[in-house]
Structure formats: C-alpha cells, structure tokens
Structure 1
Amino acid sequence: MSQDSAAVPDAARKLAARRRREIVAVLLFSGGPIFESSIPLSVFGIDRQDAGVPRYRLLVCAGEDVPLRTTGGLELSAPYGLEAIARAGTVVVPAWRSITQAPPPAALDALRRAHEEGARIVGLCTGAFVLAAAGLLDGRPATTHWMYAPTLAKRYPSVHVDPRELFVDDGDVLTSAGTAAGIDLCLHIVRTDHGADAANALARRLVVPQRRTAADLGHQRYLDRSLPEEIGADPLAEVVAWALEHLHEQFDVETLGASPAAYRAAYRARRPQNGAPEPVLRPERVDRPERGERAALGVGGVDRFAAAAVAGHGQATALATAEAGEIGRPQPDAFAARLPEASLSRGAGRPVLPGQRERPVG
C-alpha cells in the first residue's frame, strides 16, 4: 500500500469516480471450493427486485490466467479479468485454494488499488488469506475458518484474528468465518447498503435466518477440541481406549447385562493386596457369540466409568462415550459412586435411588 493512501483515514477515503457502489466484483481462482464461490454469486448476481431487494450488478472476474477448476473438478469460465475490478465498489474474494500458497501478485495489486480508491474489500472463509497477503488486514480485526485461524495469526502477526466471530466488519475491509458464515456476511452487506427490510426479504428468498450471531449459533463449539492422541498410562487408560474404539456400537442394557452389584463385587475381587499396583480394569466379554465384542460394564459400571473418564481424561472424552452409547451424559461428581451402600445390592441388582420406593420382586 502506498504511503499516500496509508496516510488517509479509512473513514475519509472516498470511492473513485470510475467505480460504482452497486457494482460487485467477485474474484475467482482455480482450485477454489464451489460452495463458497457460489455464495456472492447467489446474493449479488440475481435480480430480486420483485421481492424488494435492490439490484446489484455482478462482475465475475478471473484472478489468474489459467483454467478455473473447482475442487470438484468443474471448469469455470469467468466473463471478466482483473481489469474489471477497476469499476467495482465492492470486491469479494470468496475463497483461496491453499493456505500454503501465495496468491498471484497481479491479483494482490488489483485488490490494493481497489482499496486505495475507496472500494469495499470482502474476504469469505479462506479468502482472508488473500486479503492478508495484500496487506489489507494489517492492524485490523479479522476472522476466517476456525481451522485455519491459527495459521493466519502466525503467518500475519499484525492481523488481530478472532476465530469466535461469524464475520468481522471493519468498515472498508470485511471477513467471514468458514463456509456458511459467508452468507451471513453477504446479508450484512445488503443490510448495510439497503436496510433491514431488503436484507430480510433476501434471507426469505434464500431460506436462511435473517440474522445470526456467534452467540446464537454457539460458534465456539466448532473450535478444535479434539481428543488427545495419547490418553496416557493411568489405570483407566485401556478402558477408555477400548471404549473409544467401540463408539460405533450401542451400549444398551441388554448388551451390557451386568448389575451394579456384580460390577462392584468384581471390582473388589480385583483389588490389589499389600500395596500392589492398581490393576487395569478391562470390560469383560459377554458370553454371547453374536455380541461377543461388546462390553459387560453394567449400567452402574458405565456411569462410574464415564464419571472416571471426566476426572482422568476430560469431559469431552466422557461425553463422546456417553453420547455414542445413548446412556445419558455423565456428571463429574460421579452420581453412581455416591449411591448408598445398601442400594447397590438390593432387589435384582438394580439400585434404589434416594426417595424411591423399592418394588417387590416377583
């Protein structure tokens, strides 16, 4: 960016006379995903004036002189080249093919020039990497797909990356998070240009929510919280590893078949003597040929195992185990372990919960 343009505050930078606010240029590159690429084409490229949506004029521009092929192998033909960007008041980069590759210098120069002349620059998903490479995100807040946010922050340390947001509007430079968040940002642009009624009418046509926020969506749940690659060597490690390998199976009562009392008795029988190391608890195999690979932890045993997983390996591991088995979400305080001693051995092996009457057997 030139020193002259850098000295002019963003709020004071006016749109050059040759550019038109209603013209939107979409910059496509080979290898881009078709979904992200289609978002600005659908929002800005279709005449919906009958629904009360003001019309934009769309210019689809090739960002490089090579055949434009999508990730699915489709070949596109863009009607315009980089020269058409000179007429646009808004330039959208919907995606970039690889965060490890540098964008074409000619495309970066076109983006810098558009920004210097007052155009609004938009990066959807990995398109933020193109904006960052052009220097347009320096010192600015921005977002991108949560999976690539750490890379963006590391490669461009002057960019204030926030992966928790669906989109970031910093005046003349805007970015969005991954994939569908591009729709939210494009609707936001329409809302900014033409008001809430126009944006809501467009949302109805697209059959999408009129306005979403990261808080409404619980966007933080998409951030990477994967399970550790190695669980460790504590006494429950092998049990947790076994359960994780069998999450595709259904842990129902019929399959498990062992009562809490039986599990408790088995655990006591295995308890070491004279200070010997604690044994590793492994799920016993059920003596049923058709279900020989399923565990015999028992209902109470599953609850206690899941509670122990919370304490030893984090709630994510336990929740994953519980949800896959449809056994209810465990709590870190291990409710099953706090049942009265007598309740674990009454009746036909079924615990009597506090405040619950024991029913006669038979």
Structure 2
Amino acid sequence: MRRFVDDDAGYLDWLAAHPDGFVINTLRKPGPAYLVLHRANCSAIGGLPTYGRQWTAAYAKICGDRDELEAFARQGLGGEATLCGRCLDRTVTPGPHAPPAHSYPVPQPGSAPARPPQLERRSPRTAPSPAHTNIGIATRPAGPLFAPPTSDPLRLDVQPRLASWNTAGDPDQVRLQAFLAAAERVVRPRLETLADPLVLRLDVGLPPATPLLDQHDLDNYLFPLVTHLAKRTGRRFVSAWATKQTSETSWVRVEQARPVHGSPIFDRPYTVRTTASSQSSGFKQQIHDQLSAANPLPDGPVWLQLAFTVGPQRNWTNLWKPTIDALDPILGSITPGRSWHPRDGRIIELGLHCHIDAALGNDVIVTITANQPRTGSGYAQR
C-alpha cells in the first residue's frame, strides 16, 4: 500500500504499473469523513486532472489491493470506504421515478395560497445519526424538511433583485438595497406576530419575455433577502423557498417553521458530506465527486430541495451557492469542461432547509433532491 501527496508523477506511474489495483481518494490528512474507493483505471482519478487540477495536491491517493485498502479505512482510519459510482457498484440503487410529493404548484398572481399535498407515509424506520451518515444515495434527509409557507402572501412593491458583490454605490447595489429595505418594511409587521424558527417564501415575478430557464437563479434572490432580514431583525430562519414565473407581481410569505411529518417520496435523492471550507474549491469538488453516480435530469424545468445538516457554528446561508455550483452532474453544465457552472437557471422552485447537529463540528451533510414538474403542473416553458 502506498500513499501519494504532491507527487503526481509517482502516482501516475503507480497507476500504469497496477492497472488491476485500487485507489482511495481522501484528504491530504486522511480521516473517516472522506474515503472514496476507485479502480486504478477509473477515469475519475486518472488521466488528465479534472478541471486542470493536480491529482495529489488537494487530495491524497492511497493505492493498493482492495482488501487492504478497505481494511485500512476501517482499522486505520475508523471509517468505511464509499464506492465510486463510475467504476464500482454501489450497495444501494435509486428507486423508480416517483412524483415529487413534497413539491407545491407555482402560484399565479392573485390566486389563493396553495397548500402542499398530503405526504405519503411509510413504515417507521430509524434514521441514522447525521454524524454517521454514509455518503451516497439516500431515502430521506439527515434532518427535517419544513413545509413551504401557505399563509396570505404579502405583495412587494419593489421588484426583487439578485445578489450583488459590486462595491457600494454601484447601480446594482443601489437597486438591491432599495429592494431589501422595501421587503423589510412589508415583512416586519408579520414577523412581530411569529415565534422562531421561521420559514420564508419568495415568489419572483418576471417580465413576460423573460426566458425562465436561463439565469435569474433563485438562490441569488433568496440569499440577500434572508441574510438581510436575519441581520436586521435578529430572527432565525431555518428554511427558505422561492419560485419564479412570468408575472407583474412578486410576493413574499413568512411563517413559523413547520416540520414535515412522515417520509416524503424522493425522486432523485443523494446525500453528500463535506469537510472543506465553503469558501474553497475543495467544498465544491467533494460534492461533485460524490455525485459521480447521479442520474442527470433531462432538459426542462427543475424543482430542487437541499436539506443541510450543520454544526452550530456554521452560517448555513453561505452554503447555498457553493453547493448548487457543484450540481452539474445532476443539472448539466452550461459550458462542458468548465467547473462550477451548472444549468441552475432552470430551477423554477427551490426549497432550502437547515438542521443543527452539534456532533458535526465543521462538517456539512447535504441531502439533494431534484425532480421535474409533472405534465399538467401548470408550468409553461418559455
């Protein structure tokens, strides 16, 4: 068994000399949280480095026979090697296609608030502790989901604005700050009647000529609004929802968070675990690598839910964008071969959830559920 760090030449020589061997991809300092087992000839860990990376810089490679590597993972590191979805069979396979029972219809302007359909209940089962959740395909999130708000919507008199990282005084920043101030004025009276924790829903209305499946990313509408309200009011948001549609009007709802009871049917559920900082490319790369067996969604609109389980020190809103940036194995890529540019503009409904587990420390567990609207759902592609 050999370990390679900062030695691409030696690692590639080992692969060439041991085509029937196996490789564990892990962190520079190996630990139980991230151990993925590959065949030596797997395209995910050999050939040209993905996205121009070095193979043995951000990650170490431990090479040898399968039995000794799996024994090392268990006995030497106290973990289990997760099987690569490209070159090794997984122990669990995705279930058949099922309608997204937890989704709700995109609201129409002036319509009565929609209520989520009744969730199908399954036989009780013991959920694994998030601190011991295996990376791979999941049947339920590590933490609870929260129902989307269904109370009377509050009409926004200023058009929602996308997040902007430009300097203060830039026109995009000026428009964003005007929207945030207006939204706060609308929401504050409702907030004063509610107890924590909270859930927010933003229904974005866009001009009729807007291509709904291109740009106008929903997480970039939610992030500035949720962070602004949390900072200005001191309130705790554990779930955020957004939709987009062609409409002259945008709406916002806020309620006390209501956990969804029962086990919703997931169409394409995956659970991943990350150990890297969300500000680093390693955070995205770990998610991307663990989704190597994901089934890409066909073209068209997408409903997406992300359930985050985090330690108490994590700011979960900072995880939204880098997580979605890593979902090109599911959403497809705008520019094939270019990293972190998924086709996330086609997400027309987004649900985000947060669960705190003190045992996680700085690790993050994310359950990813991606579905497509059923025929007759009322969505018209433009």
Which structure is richer in relative contact order (CA contacts within 8 A, separation 6 or more)?
A: 2
* TM-score tier after normalising by the smaller chain length: under 0.3
- TM-score normalised per structure 2: 0.22
- TM-score normalised per structure 1: 0.23
More strand by share: 2
More helix by share: 1
